[in-house]
Structure 1
Amino acid sequence: MAAISAAMVKELRERTGLGLLDCKKALKKTDGDIDQAIEDLRKSSGMKAAKKAGRTAADGVVAVRVAEDGKYGQVVEVNSETDFVARDEAFLGFVDTVANKALADKQTDVAALMAGDLESAREALVQKIGENIGVRRIDAVDADVVGGYVHSNNRIAVLVALKGGDVELARDIAMHVAATNPQFVAPADVSEEVVAKESEIIKAQPDMAGKPEAIVEKMIGGRIKKFLSEISLSEQAFVKNPELTVGKLAAQGGAEIQSFVRYEVGDGIVVEEVDFAAEVAEQLAASK
């Protein structure tokens, strides 16, 4: 039997995307014949899809759907492993199917949504494309007026809920949220804990040293006010007209901002950095 080297395992893994041990087992069965190993592994399509489920899908796209009456909307994130697949027509078709069904069912539970035909479609797409694909999250808003916006690269999506106003106003505000990423609707929504932590940070800054307590408190107050305006949607300068805050924009349109949801592809996903050479050596040593 031919010796199975780390280089052979690496090549097979790169060509198939399968795990190290799977690749080593396949090579052992074919006496080191990489092409035959690939053929054998391709026949194991069910195994291929299952093995890919463990790979990190941190790329992908987001999608927005708003009901015809403009009072309900949903935002969905569907992940792939690479931006190349995120532009694939079959992948984007799957995203459309997921988003449309989620809206039709008013379903925000990913597991419930995917049960049945959608999960079968996902598995088939994984086998066809060769990457892990997953529906990560779904959120919804329900209000008098709902507007949505998706950035042109399909990586940022926003829904905004208004009391009063119209869909165009909501969409303008959603576009602003996509650009600036506010954390809260208004300063009143910021918790005391967040304010207290920021106050501690400001107080510890070098320019506070040696100043009288009254001056320090005044400076903290001013900086906290600025901090709140920066993280609160209603206090931010509107991107299309910096002379106007978003709160005033809404008021001029006869609206009050109730809530917003902002999705950015991969937000919060930690992608593990792997030392491939060390991983190969470790796996080969463990399997001897």
Structure 2
Amino acid sequence: MAEITAAAVKDLRERSGAGMMDCKKALTENGGDMEAAIDWLRTKGLATAAKKSGRTAAEGLVGVAVEGKKGAAVEVNSETDFVAKNEQFQDFVRTVSKLALTTGDSIEALASASYPGGEGSVQDKLTANIATIGENQQLRRAKVVSVNEGAVVSYVHNAAGPGIGKIGVLVALEGSAPVDKIEALGKSLAMHIAAANPLALHEEGLDEALVERERAIAMEKAAGSGKPQNIIEKMVEGAIAKFRKENALTSQLFVMDNKTKIADVIAQAAKDAGGSIALIDYVRFQLGEGIEKEASDFAAEVAAAAGI
């Protein structure tokens, strides 16, 4: 058997765009023959998939799944919204959302998990999907929440189908109150979270770097007011207090009436249900948030493709 050198693997990787391990396997399977290895990668869909991996994937779907006292949310990205309407892609998102209930928050663990139906790993299935659908797709993130007693409630906003859509929310409510009462509250809270986009469960959980950024902005605004320094300091602290209140879930005003704090909504629900209810965690995944999308000049792309 021909020796597979690191230089050969590197060369194949540069020529095909496939992953290092896939290139090594391709060369091994084809006795070191470079052209045969490239063809092998193409037949497996690996070269095609890898060449697309540099393109921005900011569309796709968020999937949510709940089983028993546990819920999982997963975001899977694609390049265009068109792929999100593809049944193959939708089935994949639903499946990996359920698998995440077992694998947890780790994308690496999820990618390595066995895909149902004997199709290899989740990553293998994703690679095959990229080759057949023709767009880059990526497992972006996953989050799992659970309770010992109570319920995990899910909600999907702008749903593309059962359990999949543009915004996925999970609410973890711990307590001894009747489950139907907890679930009803959870659904209302989930809809609030989808709309209000809280940044943390409690005020003390807000990212301090983000708070300091807001402080700097507030200071700059107040400094231009011409007021005395002691007044400026009070203005800044007031702005920060407002920021904390508006961005922590438990201190936000409930979107249903815009006057009751979420903490008070939960307390009243527990009282009415005759049992304890505590909001211990939540997840809100909005499709593509934080991804810098590439600007696209469609006319220029058409001209380039036509050689104009």
TM-score normalized by the length of structure 1: 0.72
1:56–1:81 Cα contact (<8 Å) kept? yes
Distance 1:46 1:215 in 2: 63
Aligned length: 239
Equivalence for 1:224: 240
Equivalence for 2:123: 119
Among 83, 89, 92, which residue is 2:90 paired with? Answer: 92
SS at match of 2:235: helix
2:57–2:77 Cα contact (<8 Å) kept? yes
Counterparts in 2 of 1:113 and 1:192: CA distance versus 1, 3 Å: closer
| Shift in Å, 1:199 | 3.2
Equivalence for 1:202: 218
Among 143, 148, 152, which residue is 2:154 paired with? Answer: 148
Distance 2:123 2:209 in 1: 41
Equivalence for 1:10: none
| Shift in Å, 1:112 | 2.5
What amino acid is the match of 1:230?
E
Report whether the alignment pairs 1:82 with 2:88: no
2:79–2:136 Cα contact (<8 Å) kept? yes
Distance 2:211 2:78 in 1: 37
| Shift in Å, 1:65 | 0.9
Structure 1 unaligned segments of length 5 or more: list them.
Answer: 1-20, 23-41, 282-288
After superposing the two structures, state which structure 1 stretch, 181-190 or 201-210, moved more.
201-210
Equivalence for 2:285: 263
Equivalence for 1:52: 52
Among 159, 164, 172, which residue is 2:170 paired with? Answer: 159
Deviation digits for residues 160-181 of structure 1, max 9, x if unmatched?
2223251221222121111111
Counterparts in 2 of 1:46 and 1:185: CA distance versus 1, 3 Å: closer
Deviation digits for residues 21-79 of structure 1, max 9, x if unmatched?
99xxxxxxxxxxxxxxxxxxx878443223223322211000111122xx211100111
Among 124, 130, 133, which residue is 2:134 paired with? Answer: 130
Counterparts in 2 of 1:216 and 1:59: CA distance versus 1, 3 Å: same
Counterparts in 2 of 1:124 and 1:245: CA distance versus 1, 3 Å: same
2:152–2:172 Cα contact (<8 Å) kept? yes
TM-score normalized by the length of structure 2: 0.68
| Shift in Å, 1:81 | 1.0
Distance 2:134 2:142 in 1: 24
Deviation digits for residues 98-138 of structure 1, max 9, x if unmatched?
112222x2433222222333233222222221111222111
Equivalence for 1:9: none
Q: Percent identity?
A: 41
Deviation digits for residues 206-230 of structure 1, max 9, x if unmatched?
5763323333333333322222211
| Shift in Å, 1:158 | 1.4
What amino acid is the match of 2:79?
E
Counterparts in 2 of 1:110 and 1:212: CA distance versus 1, 3 Å: closer
2:103–2:110 Cα contact (<8 Å) kept? no
What amino acid is the match of 1:213?
Q
Counterparts in 2 of 1:241 and 1:139: CA distance versus 1, 3 Å: same
1:208–1:216 Cα contact (<8 Å) kept? no
SS at match of 1:267: coil
SS at match of 2:97: helix
Distance 2:265 2:90 in 1: 35
Equivalence for 1:66: 66
